[in-house]
Structure 1
């Protein structure tokens, strides 16, 4: 039986994690050109299309490191979160899209 899970959280909850935790990854799963137009501070960009449910990301992180996932509107982040879970990551938080992100964005 496959064990895949991720948590859907609000953007407010994601911001609280970013402000209070020291060990986490912010993952922007939009295309590179979208990322360059503006993204959440400290986010890394790996497009959803480049994430495989069968292999780990090329990141030097432990499997239980919290990964906060977002995209433009919330659709690709759901797909990416599922693929990350299938790849074996254990602590995934999907928080929607940058279109409704009420906090700072860097360009």
Structure 2
């Protein structure tokens, strides 16, 4: 899967399955796996290699990521990842993927 293709100038995010994310990670993709849950939720368990950046940090605009790099977003149920994707697009990120709920991830946690 080439995650650099398929983006329109209207800046829409793309849904991505856990399997696709797992395959990307296995190939050494230069993308950021972004966990937008709270720090406490992240501490309990998270996907290996993910970065914790709570959704309220996104609202404040505190995003230490390159806007041109692919970002895959997940949360607990899918609601926060959806709004985080929209926020990232409004802030100028152009390659945004929504994996939705971490509960869909069958590959184990840290």
TM-score (norm 1): 0.86
Aligned to 1:89: 93
Q: 2:108, 2:45 → 1: CA distance?
A: 10
Alignment of 1:1-107 (within 5 A): 3-52=10-59, 55=61, 57-59=63-65, 61=66, 63-106=67-110
Q: Is the 8 A contact 1:67 1:91 kept in 2?
A: yes
Q: 1:93, 1:22 → 2: CA distance?
A: 13
CA RMSD of aligned residues (A): 1.8
Task: List alignment gaps of at least 5 residues for structure 1.
Answer: none
Relative distance call for 1:105 and 1:93 in structure 2 (3 A) is same
TM-score (norm 2): 0.84
Task: List alignment gaps of at least 5 residues for structure 2.
Answer: 1-8
* Alignment coverage as a number of residue pairs: 102
Moved over 3 A (4+): none
- How far apart are residue 70 of structure 1 and its match? 0.3
- How far apart are residue 22 of structure 1 and its match? 3.1
